[in-house]
Structure formats: structure tokens, C-alpha cells
Amino acid sequence: YTCCATNDFGESLTHAQLRVYKHFKEAPLPSTFTQPIRDTYSLNENELVLDCRVRGQPRPEIQWIKGTEPIEASEKFKPSDQADGYAKLVIVNPTEKDSGIYWCVARNEGAENKISHQVDFKGRQHYSLEKTHGFFHRDPNKPHFLLPLGNQTVCNGGTVAISAEFMETSTPIEVKWLRDRRVVDGPNVKALADRGVYTLTIMNAGPEVEGTYTCRASNAFGR
């Protein structure tokens, strides 16, 4: 295959070779969460949506759990997942009773992984007032999280992916990742940034990476 780009000053070519194997079988890839659970409330739809992203080969089976009780599809709870790894749980007409710890469990032949998220739903009226007044009391120049970090559980040897998303600011943000108040580093550690989403990945994770993780963001206006 050849891709050719041209303009008034000339052209540039790049090539790639594609081979198709008749009996090719993809290698198993353990279930790994690439985005923690976040919860978003829609005032207009009166729906609370929990979503996350997971990858794996074969495609992982997704199960949502509240506390210790598995969640089954119903008029109240609507779980779904897509081939690209996006998984979500829609809670229709939520109330304060829907607060609690929610788990997303991903299973395939490679492994079973799960992550948790604490939901604190304060009622429709609270969100209506927050939408009207909430953002007027924040300094728009300082870094502000759009999503808090979520708890994770991974298998020994799996990959940890912890993401934090920030509101857009007028000056660049510097992000540091800490584990038990110490900077996270090592040959298996990578810190990535893409359009306001900062991700810490730790490959081949073992018991030594357990702990409390902190994402510290700062810019010229504060942290």
C-alpha cells in the first residue's frame, strides 16, 4: 500500500506491506481497564450514567455490581458495552438510594479485572442548583478535575491505567503522579497526556505497586 501526498511544491510517498494469513489467530489479551469509572448526571434526561473503557482479546464480558449485588438489565438499570471497549450503565430516574459503591467487572480468557467507583447522588434538585451556581465560585485559571480517580483491582502481571481529566485552562498544566506521597517512576511506568486527559500506566504490575495514588496538577495560577 502506498500513501501519496502532493501539493504545489512536490510530493511525498510512504509505503506499507500487508500480509493476510489464512489461519491467523489473535493472541489472547487480558482484560485491562484503560479509563476509570466516571458518573455523569443528565438533568434533562434525569439519568445517571456510569461509564468506563476496557480492552482485551477476546472481547471481555462486562458485569456491573452495586455493593455485592449483580445488576441485571431492567427499566431502572440499562447496561451496555461496545466493541471498542466502551461500557456504560444508565440509571433511570435516580434517587439518593442509588448512591453506593459500583463495580465494573471485565472477564475474558486472559483474566478477570474489576474497578470500583463511589457514587454520591444528592438528588435532582441539588444538581439543578449546582448547574445554576456551581461554576461561578471557581477560579477558572487554576486546574480543576473533571473526573476524580477511581479505585482499581488488577491481576498480578496485568496493566494498570489511571486517568485524570481536567477543565481547559489558559496556561499549561504540569501533572505529577504520586504513590503513597512518592513520585511514581520505574522502567514499566509511562505517563501520557492527550487533550486534557492525563494517564499513568504501569505494565506487568505486581504487589509492589499497591498503594494510594495521587494526581497533582499545577500551573502558574496554583494547584
Tell me the domains of the chain and their CATH numbers.
29-131 (2.60.40.10), 139-218 (2.60.40.10)
For residue 81, the model assigns a pLDDT of: 93
The arithmetic mean of pLDDT across residues 61-74, rounded, is 95
Residue 59: name the closest of 23, 94, 19, 87 by CA.
87
Residue 49 scores a pLDDT above 90: yes
Task: State how far the Cα of 202 lies from the Cα of 192, in Å rounded to an integer.
Answer: 11
The stretch 135-145 carries a mean pLDDT of 67
pLDDT for 136 equals 44
For 123, half-sphere exposure in the C-beta direction (CA atoms, 13 angstrom radius) is 3
* Bond into 140 cis (ω within 30): no
Q: What is the pLDDT of residue 135?
A: 47
Which of residues 168 and 59 earns the better pLDDT score? Answer: 59
Mean per-residue pLDDT for 35-59? 89
Taking the complete model, does pTM exceed 0.75, yes or no?
no
Using alpha carbons only, give the angle 150, 180, 68 rounded to the nearest 5 degrees.
Answer: 35
Is residue 202 predicted with pLDDT exceeding 60? yes
